[in-house]
């Protein structure tokens, strides 16, 4: 099966077929997700938390992103691969282009992702004019917050809702080919998905987006800093990975030494 194209992703939105996306940080998990038929894999700077054990994403470097993008790309045959631009990697147009090219080089990432702030308008235009595919990100912006207590739903007020809708429409106008909306009010996410022609992928933003993205470690309930509230299981049954590991330990303890 050939690698999924952006055109194919767009057709899923057009035909109202939910788009599936996951983060991945290594070749094995990437291969697992790819073999299961995932549409999009994101090498997220969330690796700062789930892989490096830090309280946030702020210390992730371009070297970190290039390394993980390279190894993830080895596990992918079909999925569209997006790589995060880490904090402080796109302060200027020239810096952004230089770093984006590193992530795209040698067929690693197909697209880069930027946490959008108004000052990034020219950066996005510059990347797109240089044939770099861009996914923008609005709502909660992990690169600007310090801890988990700051993860609060946005878009509940009329002012916030209008700001988010206007940002989304501007992002499409600038030429971004995809949008991630994180932890925004479900009704606002629904409006944005309806207004935009590009795919809108949600995380903690309700079921009305064109697709959903999750941190793969959150799905398996093994993230270092805990699972987000919107993903916490309703029952307290042991998660499958922990159950398998505990069974292995129990069986090993039965061996005669």
CATH number reported for the structural domain that contains residue 160 in this entry:
3.20.20.60
Q: How many CA atoms lie within 13 A of 207 on its CB side?
A: 1
Q: Where does residue 51 rank: exposed (0-12), middle (13-18), buried (19+ CB within 10 A)?
A: middle
Q: Structural domain of residue 80, as residue ranges?
A: 6-253
> Which residue is associated with the tokens 């993830």?
72
**How far is it, in rounded angstroms, from Cα 155 to Cα 76?**
35
pTM to 2 decimals?
A: 0.92
Domain total of the chain: 1
Q: Is residue 183 part of a domain?
A: yes
pLDDT above 90: percentage of residues in the chain: 80
Mean pLDDT of 143-151: 78
Q: Is residue 213 part of a domain?
A: yes
pLDDT at 9: 97
Instruction: State the alpha helices, DSSP H only, in 175-226.
Output: 186-195, 216-219
Q: Is residue 232 part of a domain?
A: yes
Q: Is residue 69 part of a domain?
A: yes
User: Which DSSP state fits 119?
Assistant: G
pLDDT at 184: 97
Q: Is residue 82 part of a domain?
A: yes
**92-134 residue pLDDT tens:** 999 999 999 999 998 899 999 999 999 999 999 999 999 999 9
Mean pLDDT of 142-171: 91
Contact between 242 and 249 (Cβ < 8 Å): no
Q: Is 146 a catalytic residue?
A: no
Given the residues 49, 115, 167, 182, the one annotated as active site:
182
Contact between 184 and 156 (Cβ < 8 Å): no
DSSP codes joined into one string, 45-114: TTHHHHTT--SSSTT--HHHHHHHHHHHHHT-SSSEEEEE--TTS-SSHHHHHHHHHHHHGGG--SEEEE
Q: Is residue 1 part of a domain?
A: no
**How far is it, in rounded angstroms, from Cα 65 to Cα 52?**
12
pLDDT at 245: 85
């Amino acid at each position: 099966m050939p690698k999924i194209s952006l055109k194919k992703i767009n057709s899923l939105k057009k035909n109202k077929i939910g788009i599936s996306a996951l983060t991945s940080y290594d070749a094995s998990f990437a291969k697992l997700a790819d073999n299961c038929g995932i549409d999009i894999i994101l090498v997220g700077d969330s690796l700062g938390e789930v892989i490096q054990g830090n309280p946030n994403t702020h210390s992730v470097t371009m070297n970190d992103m290039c390394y993980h993008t390279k190894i993830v790309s080895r596990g992918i045959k079909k999925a569209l691969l997006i790589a995060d631009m880490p904090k402080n990697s796109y302060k200027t147009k020239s810096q952004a282009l230089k770093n984006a090219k590193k992530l795209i080089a040698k067929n690693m990432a197909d697209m880069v992702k930027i946490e959008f702030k108004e000052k990034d308008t020219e950066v996005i235009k510059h990347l797109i004019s240089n044939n770099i595919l861009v996914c923008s990100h609005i709502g909660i912006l992990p690169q600007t917050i310090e801890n988990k207590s700051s993860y609060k739903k946005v878009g509940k007020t009329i002012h916030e809702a209008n700001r988010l809708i206007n940002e989304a429409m501007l992002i499409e106008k600038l030429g971004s080919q995809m949008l991630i909306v994180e932890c925004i009010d479900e009704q606002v996410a629904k409006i944005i998905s309806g207004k935009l022609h590009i795919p809108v992928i949600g995380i903690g933003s309700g079921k009305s987006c064109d697709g959903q993205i999750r941190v793969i470690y959150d799905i398996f309930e093994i993230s270092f800093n805990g699972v987000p509230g919107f993903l916490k299981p309703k029952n307290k049954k042991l998660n499958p990975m922990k159950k398998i590991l505990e069974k292995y330990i129990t069986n090993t303890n039965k061996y005669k030494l």
